[in-house]
Amino acid sequence: MAVLRFVDSIQASPTVRLNLNDLSVWGMSNETSFGTPEMKRSVTSSMMRDGDYVGASAYGNRVLNLVLHLFHAGDNAATQLQLLQRELDRPTNLLQYTPGGTTNTVFFRTFRTPPESVRWDIGLKQVRVQVLAEPFALGLREDIGPVTVNNNPAAGSNGLFADLTGIKGDVETPLMIEYADGGGGLARNGFSIGVRSGPSPYPNRFLQAESMNQNTDTSAVVDAAFSGGNKSRCTFTTQQVLTTRISGKFPSATVPAGAENWGVYRVFARVAQTVAGDVMQMDLFIDNASTAVVTIKSQTAAQLVDLGTVDSTFGVPTTGGHAVSEYRIEDQPGITGPLLVRAARLSGSGSLDIDYVAFVPADECFGTWTYKSNVTSATHLSVVDAVSDSFYTATALSGATPGRISGGFPVAITGRLPRVMPGNNRLVIVESSEFPGVANAITTSITMTIRYWPRYLLVRSLTG
């Protein structure tokens, strides 16, 4: 028998507010339908070509067409009708639905809606209502973790990344990430998180500086405090202007077949000055495009320098015609072109140590924020809540997501908080370094619990 009822929460056994298909008081007519979300498109057309170009698309809300039979009569029927109207009048509500013959349930988030018509006959009492709802049905919450991410790309497993496999649902879904606030490690300063979905294995998107070409005034130096036990040191002995210090190519184009390397990236370089107070600058070239020139904070503690965004494709197609195989573009902008890291010392006498260059995907989803913990309890949680596009601190309650928001101060978020597609996804995570004097330590890590609610167009399968 199909399940249709208003409930108080998205849980396996929620509290039922009103059962609309118990076949004792209410019954769902076979005229009931759950529609599909409206697809909104930005379309342009021209007489220069056949067909229209769809520049962007997004799902709009959906309408649930409920046709309900009321089996009671007299005052009992009036009471039940009043209970229904109270549920429909809530600003938001949850309607649980399990189609007959299926196992897994879904939940629609609905909005305030009046009945379309009420039939009150001696032999038939029927309510028709078009309930406005969010585009997608939600599945039960899925928990992943705890997941530990190391702040060192040479750490191997989970070095600046976490792979999320087997994400359920039909469409993209936002994540909710919780970690101990004030517990040390990467929790201190905030994150930059990029997401790339698709098949694994994913290519390496981290270049160790010492493995690149050592150019003007630069040489590889052994140093156990740096990733991989080595670094590149630039002494600036001959030039004080932006000059190529290390160079190479964009990360490997061979795993898998180069396809996964195409896209937009936010680039970060881990560096350290040998003399505090020196004024130094950096930028990065990939082919003929460059990032903005960035002035490095004047400190000897290792720091991540945000070099800005680069595009590894520059509009070059990855496939020819209607083919599905990937081309490797030779001598053109893209994955085979040169990568140059430039640096200059404008004043001072010290050297610049370069550890690695990290490419964080910024095309599907990229967000960054800075937050300096003001508590010391490791049980106090910081919550990255992409469902509500917010960041907050909270106190955890047993067995649930944080149950009490504990305050803190506003956190400015740039970009988009993490969302993942069904299937396999990689989160690339680097520490923000916005606070002067705070070191970016490769020995630190962060342990996170990742939660999400799968989103479905209508029903969910037994496994996904």
Please give the pLDDT value at position 368: 87
pLDDT at position 446 is 84
Calpha distance 160→170 (Å, rounded): 28
Do 79 and 226 reside in the same domain of the chain? Answer: no
Instruction: List the beta bridge partners of residue 140.
Output: none
Token duo for residue 359: 């490419």
Instruction: State whether 15 and 106 are in the same domain.
Output: yes
Token pair 């002995």 in the structure block, residue: 237
Domain membership flag for residue 345: yes
Q: Do 275 and 350 meet the contact criterion of CB atoms below 8 Å apart? A: yes
| The predicted structure's pLDDT at residue 17 | 97
Q: Are strands 106-111 and 142-150 parallel, antiparallel or unpaired?
A: unpaired
State whether 123 and 29 are in the same domain: yes
Instruction: Give how many domains the chain has, as a whole number.
Output: 2
In a domain? residue 464: no
Number of alpha helices (DSSP H) and beta strands (DSSP E) in the chain = 1, 36
* Joined tokens for residue 55: 């520049």
- The candidate with the shortest Cα–Cα distance to 263, out of 247, 250, 282, 248, is 250
pLDDT at 254: 46
Residues 195 and 324 in one domain: yes
Domain final position from 118, 135, 152: 135
Each residue's pLDDT expressed in tens, for the chain with a length of 464 residues: 899 999 999 999 999 999 999 999 999 999 999 999 999 999 999 998 899 999 899 999 999 999 999 999 999 999 999 999 999 999 999 999 999 889 999 999 999 999 999 999 888 899 999 999 999 999 999 999 899 999 899 987 789 999 999 999 999 999 999 887 654 444 456 788 999 887 766 666 789 999 999 999 999 999 999 999 999 999 998 778 899 999 988 765 444 444 566 778 899 999 999 999 999 999 998 766 678 899 999 889 899 999 988 876 654 455 566 665 555 444 444 445 678 999 999 999 999 999 999 999 998 899 988 766 555 555 677 888 999 888 877 766 555 555 555 555 567 788 899 999 999 999 999 987 666 667 788 888 888 899 999 999 988 888 88
86 φ, ψ (degrees, to nearest 5): -65, -40
Check whether residue 286 and residue 315 sit in a common domain. yes
Tell me what pLDDT residue 432 has: 72
Contact 281, 348 (CB under 8 A): no
Quote the domain boundaries for residue 97: 3-135
Q: How far is CA 201 from the centre of its chain?
A: 19
CA distance 159 to 443: 11
Q: What is the pLDDT of residue 67?
A: 97
Write down the pLDDT at residue 325: 55
Residue 265 belongs to some domain of the structure: yes
108 and 161 share one domain: no
Between the alpha carbon of residue 175 and those of residues 127, 390, 416, 427, the distances in Å are 37, 11, 11, 11
Task: Please tell me the predicted confidence (pLDDT) of residue 329.
Answer: 45
End-to-end CA distance of the chain: 22
The CATH number of whichever domain residue 412 belongs to comes to: 2.60.120.260
Residue 439 lies in a domain: yes
Q: What angle do CA 213, 214, 217 make, to 5 degrees?
A: 155
| CATH number of residue 25's parent domain | 2.40.30.200
The pLDDT score that the predictor gives to residue 331 is 42
Shared domain check, 167 and 241: yes
205 falls within a domain: yes
**Which residues are CB-neighbours of 225 under 8 A, at least 6 positions away?**
302, 442
pLDDT of residue 182: 55
In a domain, 462, yes or no: no
Bridge-based pairing state of the strands 455-456 and 404-407 = unpaired
Which letter does DSSP use for residue 254 in this model? -
